[in-house]
Amino acid sequence: MRFSGDNLDVYVKTNHVGKEKKRHKDIPLFASNIIFSRVSSVDMSNVVPQVDASKLNSDSVLMKETDKAKLLGVYLMLFVLFSSPFRSLFS
């Protein structure tokens, strides 16, 4: 397992003048990534697949229209769930 992380500072300049004295905001974030190694077991094959790169085309790697429609439906559901008034359920 590999774990990596780094600080990410976002500086936001606002154009709106309000009652706050400090308009610009510095937002400190932490970006992290965990990569798990492949877990080997007795029934898993260790044979490397032989793929001829000259025979690859875009149809073998791009999503089909049905998969795109499913993904769009999932995105729409997530958008509805995490937007108001449902947002309070997840915070």
Residue at 78 is within a domain: yes
Domain count, the chain: 1
Residue at 54 is within a domain: no
Claim: this prediction has a pTM higher than 0.75: no
List per-residue pLDDT tens for the chain, 91 residues long: 677 888 878 787 776 666 666 677 778 888 788 877 767 677 777 788 788 888 888 887 888 999 999 999 999 888 887 776 666 665 5
3-state secondary structure the chain: CEEEEEEEEEEECCCCCCCCCCCCEEEEEEEEEEECCCCCCCCCCCCCCCCCHHHCCHHHCCCCHHHHHHHHHHHHHHHHHHCCCHHHHHC
Give the domain extent around 13. 2-37+62-90
Residue at 72 is within a domain: yes
Residue at 47 is within a domain: no
